[in-house]
């Protein structure tokens, strides 16, 4: 049997579970940056909790919570330039928001609005991908195009541990490494692909070590340590932008909630495990401890920020709910660039039925 110890991937960590770390290392992060980082993470948690409640109330459709993964998403996306490309899955709402996607657009998406998957033209965010692992190929293709055109953008592909069992993942890494394209494969290893634990996904000790087979660099980072994620991602982005090829980053984290709102995690994982991650390893808790120790965050600031975000969520939901565009009649406009006669007839039929329904 292969000796796993031959592949040593030590986890990068700057801030431990109690908010402690090397003071010299931590001093490199300004107060302003730390507050910005925490505010984004706290905002993401509030939004996630509100969305989960809204789904239970029947106000939005099926939803995939991301609580517990804020450090991985926010820490990584803040290391990017605004014109860098990101390729999200259905669980990267926090990353999309931090990269500029309006909150009201998220609500259009989760409400099933026709335009919900559309990204504003000034943002380099690909549509949210539902097919597991497919976005790895899209990111590789985009990065290749960027290289051929002599542009400087870096492509970042987000995916979970389950995606590493898909053929697309392996094809994308192989192609990206052969052609040395500026793409970063960012795996959020949240321990479970729906009900399948990571040890049933792979026999590898880490996901990061899979990079070795494709001749690229692999890095393992504490995904609940926002500072370590940011620093790791910044180095990877700079390297990719400088033509040093692709990189695979494994961010070790944990999904605190269900896979989606149609899932019951109590059926496949024990409560003690989840509580351990929630109480001891929460990414928000460890960063807040550091901020409070520096004297740059207080309970009063926390309450004010949460209240402000809740107001933003309410306003964004109301904006999306009031949007009456995007009926089935409009859907026909996005089938072909030049509609066929049959398609036009079907659209007219749908329009007549729509008018009857309105009456």
* Crossing angle (nearest 10°) for helices 103-110 and 299-321: 50
Tokens representing 312 are 């933003």
The Cβ of residue 56 has, within 10 Å, a number of other Cβ atoms equal to 11
> Which among 201, 162, 164 has a CA at the least distance from the CA of 185?
164
Catalytic residue among 39, 108, 259, 286: 259
Output Rg (C-alpha) for the chain, integer angstroms.
21
Is residue 99 part of the annotated active site? The answer reads no
Is residue 90 part of the annotated active site? The answer reads no
Catalytic residue among 39, 99, 113, 255: 255
Q: Are 47 and 313 in contact (CB under 8 A)?
A: yes
Q: Are 68 and 257 in contact (CB under 8 A)?
A: yes
Q: Are 281 and 251 in contact (CB under 8 A)?
A: no
- 192-193 and 196-197 as β-strands: parallel, antiparallel, unpaired? antiparallel
289 half-sphere exposure, CB direction, 13 A CA radius? 15
Spatial separation of the C-alpha atoms in residues 71 and 302, rounded to whole Å: 17
Is residue 122 part of the annotated active site? The answer reads no
- DSSP-derived secondary structure for 6-68: GS--PPB-SS-TTS---HHHHTTS-HHHHHHHHHHHHHHHHHHHHHHHHHHTTSS------TT
Catalytic residue among 56, 200, 205, 268: 268
The Cβ of residue 214 has, within 10 Å, a number of other Cβ atoms equal to 18
Q: Are 126 and 138 in contact (CB under 8 A)?
A: yes
* Burial group, residue 118, by CB count within 10 angstroms (0-12, 13-18, 19+): middle
Spatial separation of the C-alpha atoms in residues 317 and 209, rounded to whole Å: 42
Tokens representing 137 are 């190929």
Q: Are 203 and 167 in contact (CB under 8 A)?
A: no
Which residues are annotated as catalytic? 255, 259, 268
């Amino acid at each position: 049997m292969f000796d796993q110890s031959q592949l040593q991937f030590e986890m990068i960590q700057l801030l431990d579970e109690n908010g402690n770390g090397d003071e010299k290392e931590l001093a490199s992060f300004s107060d302003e940056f730390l507050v910005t980082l925490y505010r984004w993470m706290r905002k993401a948690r509030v939004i996630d909790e509100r969305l989960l409640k809204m789904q239970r109330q029947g106000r939005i459709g099926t939803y995939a919570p991301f609580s517990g993964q804020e450090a991985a998403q926010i820490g990584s996306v803040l290391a990017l330039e605004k014109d860098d490309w990101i390729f999200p899955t259905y669980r990267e709402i926090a990353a999309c928001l931090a990269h500029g996607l309006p909150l009201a657009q998220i609500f259009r998406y989760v409400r099933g609005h026709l335009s919900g998957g559309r990204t504003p033209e000034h943002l380099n965010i690909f549509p949210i991908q539902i097919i597991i692992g497919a976005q790895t190929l899209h990111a590789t293709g985009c990065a290749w195009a960027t290289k051929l055109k002599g542009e400087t953008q870096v492509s970042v592909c987000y995916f979970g541990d389950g995606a590493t069992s898909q053929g697309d993942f392996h094809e994308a890494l192989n192609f990206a490494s052969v052609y040395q394209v500026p793409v970063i494969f960012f795996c959020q290893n949240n321990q479970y692909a729906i009900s399948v634990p990571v040890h049933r996904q792979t026999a590898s000790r880490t996901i990061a070590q899979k990079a070795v087979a494709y001749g690229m660099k692999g890095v393992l980072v504490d995904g609940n340590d926002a500072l370590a994620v940011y620093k790791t991602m910044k180095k990877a982005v700079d390297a990719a932008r400088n033509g040093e090829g692709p990189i695979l980053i494994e961010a070790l984290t944990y999904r605190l909630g269900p896979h989606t709102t149609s899932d019951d995690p109590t059926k496949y994982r024990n409560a003690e495990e989840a509580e351990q991650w929630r109480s001891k390893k929460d990414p928000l808790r460890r960063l807040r401890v550091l901020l409070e120790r520096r004297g740059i965050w207080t309970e009063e600031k926390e309450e004010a920020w949460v209240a402000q975000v809740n107001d933003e969520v309410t306003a964004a939901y109301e904006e999306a709910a009031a949007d009456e565009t995007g009926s089935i009649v409009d859907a026909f406009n996005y089938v072909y660039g030049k509609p066929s006669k049959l398609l036009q007839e079907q659209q007219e039929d749908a329009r007549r039925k729509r008018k009857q329904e309105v009456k």
